[in-house]
Amino acid sequence: MRLGVNIDHIATLREARRGKLPDPVAAAIAAEMAGADGIVCHLREDRRHIKDKDLFLLKEIVKTHLNLEMAATDEMVSLATEVVPDMVTLVPENREEVTTEGGLDVLSNTDWIEDVVRQLRSHNIVVSLFVDPAIEQIKAAAKLNADYVEIHTGLYANAGDLGDVMDELEKIRSIAMAAAKLGLGVSAGHGLDYHNVRDILDIEQIEELNIGHSIVAKAAMIGMERAVRELLQIIRR
Ligand code: PXP
């Protein structure tokens, strides 16, 4: 299974001071050096973390695979066809949300999404649709000629009791099988961490996981001790 590392929240930290650090582009290089199979970033309409400049720089420096998450708007399609990342993942976007809240409703936006998929594919961009684990969405994605579906794992990740966790896991498993049968590539992501990822690994149709927040959170924690020690060395020289 491939790992796509989402670096959005390195940029979130940078934007806390509207400065230059930490740099999501440097984080992408570090992730690739650690063996990541790809880099993922979400350019939001409000540019709250990743900026256009980051995207252009990522296109230059990413050596593995660049997956751009974006809403299916004219502005984003025009940017994507200019930058030409390896893959575009279409996601729903709502200004007020803290993070992506659910999958794209492929069924009620069929004509528009089909047109966006066609435009992106005509620029040799592989197109993935981020969808909830629901069979109608997967069938619609296949009809629109998407290359991949990314199964939204948020409900699984946030499920409270074990019964709900198992139910959500089974939904993801059967949807992954259905998607692969329809000829779609299958990836999964949202809310995955160092614990809940384990059961997902058994689903053989899932080719790729896209994970961000838990990696950035872990990086901050395991780097904390070293960061404090380095500053103390300078202060107590
Ligand atoms: N996949 C998609 C489509 C997303 O929108 C996100 C969040 O930006 C992720 C994966 C990664 O989610 P998380 O940051 O919770 O790992």
Q: Please write the tens of the pLDDT for every residue from 9-55.
A: 999 999 999 999 999 999 999 999 999 999 999 999 999 999 999 99
Low-confidence stretches of the chain (pLDDT < 70) are none
Catalytic pick among 69, 93, 168, 208: 69
Give the whole-number percent of the chain exceeding pLDDT 70.
100
Q: Buried b / exposed e across 159-194, counting CB within 10 Å, b at 16+? A: beeeeebeebbebbbebbebbbeeebbbbbbbbbee
Q: Which domains does the chain have, with CATH numbers?
A: 2-236 (3.20.20.70)
Dmax (CA) for the chain in angstroms is 65
Q: pTM for the full model?
A: 0.97
Q: Cα separation of 176 and 184, whole Å?
A: 9
**Predicted pLDDT at 95:** 74
User: Which numbered atom of ligand 1 lies nearest the CA of 211?
Assistant: 16
- Cα–Cα dist 234/220, whole Å: 20
Gap between the Cα atoms of 221 and 34, Å rounded: 17
Q: Which of 12, 117, 22, 4 is nearest to 62 (CA)?
A: 4
64-81 pLDDT, tens per residue? Answer: 999 999 999 999 999 999
Residue 14 is predicted with a pLDDT of 98
3-state secondary structure (DSSP) of residue 146: coil
- Give the residues surrounding ligand 1 with Cβ less than 6 Å away: 6, 8, 42, 69, 89, 91, 99-100, 130, 150, 189-192, 210-214
User: What pLDDT, on the 0 to 100 scale, is given for residue 202?
Assistant: 97
